[in-house]
Chains A and B, each alone.
Chain A
Amino acid sequence: GAGVSQTPSNKVTEKGKYVELRCDPISGHTALYWYRQSLGQGPEFLIYFQGTGAADDSGLPNDRFFAVRPEGSVSTLKIQRTERGDSAMYLCASRAQGASIYEQYFGPGTRLTVT
């Protein structure tokens, strides 16, 4: 079946604008994760959904970042008033119910550039 997909693959926006990044997890996967990866660094956890609810949002850097997963499938990461420091690769991963936390399947990412 299809893997995790993310759209857009690249997004360039101006400082101060609002952006939405979309993640389509593997069908049937109940857990969904968002990560942010700066150049030359490992991914950093942002938020974790179990079903429709955010089970852990401790990684969101500030209140400009918000994520939703209204029907327990597709998720959208929303960034308000973007700043140049938000430029990074945003990765999404999903995991099947009951699978190990390590069995996350990653999407190709969205590269966000804030000019």
Chain B
Amino acid sequence: SQQGEEDPQALSIQEGENATMNCSYKTSINNLQWYRQNSGRGLVHLILIRSNEREKHSGRLRVTLDTSKKSSSLLITASRAADTASYFCATVAAASSARQLTFGSGTQLTVLP
């Protein structure tokens, strides 16, 4: 089963509203990364949060991490139509020697103009 699970699976909002997406994971991690994927394209990394951080900002993006609940959230403020994309969290299990990212199932965000 996948390490990360996002909710909601799909989110539709009006331009200017805020969008919040959540991600849960199962094992201890060192870092968590959020990615964006435009329809049918590759992924672009957005923001990385380390396990000793609780919150991180980058422009209109705000990421939180709660390691006790094994969850993270991505907030996009003042959304724009161009933010329409799928958003994924990804982790690497801290205790393993695996050199692979495990992605969640993603949230499809639609921002209506």
Interface contact B106-A56, CB-CB below 8 Å: no
Number of A-B contacts (CB under 8 A): 67
Number of contacting residues on B, CB 8 A?
25
In the complex, how many angstroms separate the beta carbon of A88 from the nearest chain B beta carbon? Answer: 12
Type the 1/0 row for A48-63, where 1 means its CB is closer than 8 Å to any CB of B: 1000000110110000
* Known contacts A41-B105, A41-B106; A101/B42 CB under 8 A: no
Interface residues, chain A, CB within 8 Å of chain B?
4, 33, 40-45, 48, 55-56, 58-59, 89, 91, 93, 100-104, 106-109, 111
Interface contact A45-B105, CB-CB below 8 Å: no
Interface residues, chain B, CB within 8 Å of chain A?
2, 4, 9, 31, 33, 40-45, 48, 88, 90, 92, 98-106, 108
Across chains A and B, which 5 residue pairs bring their CB atoms closest together, nearest first?
A: A42-B103, A106-B42, A45-B100, A102-B33, A106-B43
Interface contact B105-A42, CB-CB below 8 Å: yes
Q: Which of B4, B44, B88, B99 contacts A56 (CB 8 A)?
A: B99
Interface contact A42-B104, CB-CB below 8 Å: yes
Which chain B positions have C-beta within 8 A of A41?
Answer: 105-106
Which chain A positions have C-beta within 8 A of B31?
Answer: 100, 102
Which chain A positions have C-beta within 8 A of B33?
Answer: 102
A104 to B103 CA separation, bound complex (whole angstroms):
13
Interface contact A42-B2, CB-CB below 8 Å: yes
Interface contact B101-A108, CB-CB below 8 Å: no
A44 to B43 CA separation, bound complex (whole angstroms):
13
